[in-house]
Amino acid sequence: MYAVIQTGGKQYRVQEGDVLRVAKLAEQAGKKVSFDNVLMLGEGDAIKFSGDAAKASVAAEVIEHGRDKKVEIFKKRRRKHSQKTQGHRQDYTAVRITKIGAAKAVAAKKAVAKKDAAEKPVAKTAAVKKEAAAEAMSKPAAKKPAAKKTGAKSDKE
């Protein structure tokens, strides 16, 4: 089984046991990490896109952190006596893919659904609504302060 995952703005085709270098992750070496942005799953001729693949996740273990080889950038403008050398080393995290599958459990989705249901406000009954309306009508209306007049000043002032 293989999967196509996205991390660090790049896409990788991975299988269980693969070691790959991805953009630097915040996890320490030896910790487990999960890639939930799965774009495609494949096994033999069967390929699953978007809907089924979105339910899956790829588990990996962080092996090490490091820096790639230096990439040298050399810019020269001919006949102008102008040249510039620059270098860059990209940070990376090496990970080993341990499992490809539906790691997003159904139980986790149910827990989220319960939490959402608990946070919804309770619907008021008709009697409670009538009482609230009657109470609001019985209170005297607050007087608004008079607005200041703005206009041109008279000559006497």
| 121 CB-near residues (< 8 Å, 6+ apart) | none
Total Cβ atoms within 10 A of residue 14 = 21
- Predicted local distance difference test score (pLDDT) of residue 113: 55
Q: How far apart are CA 34 and CA 56, in angstroms?
A: 10
Q: DSSP letter at 141?
A: P
Q: How far apart are CA 34 and CA 68, in angstroms?
A: 23
Segment of 92-101, 105-114, 148-157 carrying the highest mean pLDDT = 92-101
Q: What is the pTM of this model?
A: 0.59
Q: Confidence class of residue 107 from pLDDT cuts 50, 70 and 90?
A: very low
Q: How far apart are CA 37 and CA 102, in angstroms?
A: 12
Tens of pLDDT along 113-152?
A: 556 655 655 555 677 777 777 777 776 666 666 666 666 6
Q: How far apart are CA 33 and CA 23, in angstroms?
A: 13
Q: Confidence class of residue 88 from pLDDT cuts 50, 70 and 90?
A: very high
Taking 50 as the threshold, does the pLDDT of residue 110 lie above it? Answer: no
Taking 90 as the threshold, does the pLDDT of residue 97 lie above it? Answer: yes
What are the residue ranges spanned by the domains of the chain? Answer: 2-67+94-106
Token pair in block for residue 27: 């996890």
CA distances from 22 to 13, 106, 141 (A): 12, 29, 65
Tens of pLDDT along 26-77?
A: 999 999 999 999 999 998 888 888 777 888 899 999 999 999 999 999 999 9
Q: How far apart are CA 47 and CA 3, in angstroms?
A: 9
Token pair in block for residue 82: 């102008």
Q: Where are the alpha helices (DSSP H) in the chain?
A: 50-54, 106-119, 126-138
